[in-house]
Chains A and B, each alone.
Chain A
Amino acid sequence: MSQFWEFAFKNLFRNKRRTLSTATAICVGFVGLNLLGAYIYRSKKALDATSVYSAQRGHISIYKKNAVEQYQVKPRQYVLTKKDIEEIQIVLKQYGDSVDYTSTKLSATALISNGTKSYPVVVYGFEPESYKKSLQQKDLLLWAKDWVIPSQLENLDIFIQNPETISLTQRIGEVMALDYPFKSSEYLQLAGKNLDGDLNAINVLLGAEHTTGLQFLEDTVVLLPIQKVQELLSTDSVESFSIYLKTFSDTNDVIQKLRQHFDKMKLNYDVFRFDDVAINSMHQGTMGFLYVMGGFFVFLICTAVSLTIINSLTMGIIERTREIGTLRAVGFKVQQVIELFTKESILLAALSMLVGVILSFMICEIVNKLEIKFFPPGASQKILFILNWNVGIAASVFVLLMLVTWLSSYLVIKNKMKVKLISLINDSGENS
């Protein structure tokens, strides 16, 4: 009934101060949740992009069955052979529409040395062509450009031009007392056990710098084209196969199909999503923390909004008891009175949140323009504090707070409607 909305709207002006304070509480709650959502959204997008592209996992990683747990112990048994790769590629052809490109990865533990100083590192082997493609992906540049150092983006062809080139972090360079910026003519040696357990060593050319983005990996990880890592490990096999899809949204679908296919064909491969805890505990841990924190704040804000509405509406209803009685006397049913009062709260919440939409959007824009840099826990360098205002999050918060508002007001008025009609009419708190 449109008159109910009109009536509800007029009632908002009955006690302007109370209406304003309730509206402020709802608006602040809405803005708070939106900003928190904007931060979590940005963090997730950045983590997704770095997991897929910077870390070269692809949207989907395929390993030999149980390789994630066993590769370090029995590497020869758990690598993907050339035959495995061919087998996977044949299967993948069925999903050609979704797949953008593929690559392989191989890691090894080794000792890096410049003749005077040696240092233990983990060598991540990658395909130079796909590395170049990955660092040029728009998702990475959009969400996590500041998680990649500029020289990485400037030297994308260096590994293609010279597959002997090794990339170090600045931290490893410091530990090894190398001149910084790195001189591209300096040869280093990598020594380690090959897959058969025999000692092996190769020469690599220092030529690039990278960051892992993570403090705990910054003094550990070096990057090297995969053929050099294979040379070090005396193998033509790889550790994992990465699939890069055209869109993130296809990931689960392709994973499901691949798993079904491998099961059906009795092929011994494990298929992981880029954020699977088995291969990317960092993503899971960070997002888990942010979701728990977000959930806690959602709970706090919903409780505060709910209590504000309950308090405000209870006060209003006490003052308007006789009015409720009058409405019932002229023929309003219990449900109609409940509807009238809940519409009042819903209208107030909607108006408050409309203001909140504008406010939260403006705050995001201002914060982003200020280009504030900060150190996220565990990060290797400062990154921009960016808040990505998102329609989906705003709509979800809107719906959530609407539900909270409706439920809170419904409970208050429903409780009041238990009072006998005659007691409502005879209430002395009338002000008309």
Chain B
Amino acid sequence: MTAGSVGDGKSTLIGRLLHDAGVIYEDHLQALRKKAGREGDPLDFSLLTDGLKAEREQGITIDVAYRYFETSKRRFIVADTPGHEQYTRNMATGASTADLAIILVDARLGVLTQSKRHGFIASLLGVPRAVLAVNKMDLVGYNQEVFEKIRGEYATFAQRLGFAELRCIPVSAVHGDNVVTAGTRMPWFEGPALLPYLEEVYIASDANLVDFRFPIQRVVRPDGTFRGYSGTVASGVARPGEEVVALPSGQRTHIERIVTFTGDLPYCHATQSVTLTLADEVDAGRGDMLAHPRNVPRAVRSVEAMVVWMGNEPLAPGRTYIVKHTSRSVKASCATIAYRVDPNTLRQGHADELRLNDIGRVAFTMFNPLFVDEYRQNRTTGSFIVIDPASNETVGAGMIIARRAAHVRAGVAPASKDIAREVGHVTWQQREALLGQSPLTVWFTGLSGSGKSTLAKAIERRLVELGRPCFVLDGDNLRHGLNRDLDFSPEDRTENIRRAAEVARLMNDAGLIVISAFISPYRQDREDARGIVGAERFIEVHLSTDLATCEQRDPKGLYRKARSGALAQFTGISAPYERPQSADVSLDTAAVSIEAAVETLVERIMRGIISSRPR
């Protein structure tokens, strides 16, 4: 049961799947029968796929291997990612292009840290769907309770991962139950078996069809008359006649033709490889990008990304690399490592460097701009690889996050290049010792009327009673002063939150506990706030009280005004609220009393401020 080496039955499961689906060639089966020895011995299906045992003995390489099969309904490509030495690297590679991940657990062992790690990596790489295959059900007597317990435990954990769908299927790879057909031994299981599920599962087109992005791969100029730009449409749709802007030159023109070998197309869309001609000559070549002028990617000289490190030499701030993003390669240096994620616990911790198979949040500063989107919006313009310029090895894979606030984030350069950071003579350790606490920011988010201000004030009172220096940042109060120039448009809401987060950070630096009470409706803004304050001292508390309850409370009469149209852009009524997917604490004030909520939160804060955390 050592992580990554002992079998949960993955190879057996794939072998069984291929065999029962009838897609194994006779010569491969014959080889299996030969290995089984005596007539009638059960076949070892694991040999069909990875042949790991055989290959290992012969010293043949174990690596991500791709298998192909098709049924009458679908074509499948199986990326078989061995769980051995290079686990994270292999899995990230397979997951980068996958539509679905199958995560295996051994029914006897239940949910192990590895099973969680697999789910985490799959979700990090943006795999939208996962199947938890609970294998070796034969060894637990096909017991429904065993299955339900594993399912419940994993489903709870996976809520934090944000899969669009997670399916749990009890199987026996060796005997074939619920692999291709249901079999008779688990009548209690009502869902489809694995293969029928895979054949039917709705694979939403991964492609983003909204934001037209066309990274130029090659300029075609066969003669003096034709000039075309070849590339693969990264996302979106485009038609002849539409206006486009070339990046970085900023020149605008129109698409003239969409040229292919078999004739011009009336439109082109994500994943197609085409050649565009433009109405006017523009200054553009490989590495540049075409987009619609009203919907452009961000031109950035610094990005923050979740990075999977694959190099033998660690990633460290100050080192220089080559970043390849779409068809563009630029020099880049690692600016900061915000944190490292422990893939087993998903906890964020301080890190000076990222080593082989580490995952962390990293800021890079580029020598030339890149045109990026966030990875969750665009898997093509949101991803990059990191290349070591000395060895030419691919040493990292990055998924871009926090596109809007990248420039305001701590550790990333301010607008004017001449501003350096002044370092004081008092360290944060000294301040913490002075006040006897490691400060935290408790960040409430929730609808108007969900109880943010009430709870914030009650907690402040309790903390003061306990002798803890603290301060409440209230949205309405800030809007009377610091934020008086802001309205409720999405941009200003974002700026409102950014300033609040900067203030919280300063107060934390000064040693105070901060309790902030802002609706903060946008997930991205809260993520940015977390980045500004610092993930290790940020507690996101979601007041999940439903709209109906809040509207009924309506302490300031605002819902009434909003309903009557007297108040525009009101969250919940005429402006969106994006629920947190991974709040640290979630409370429904319709279900718990104020006292109980205060108790819970104060206890949590007290735990946080006295345990000295690395920074």
Decide whether A and B are members of one complex.
no
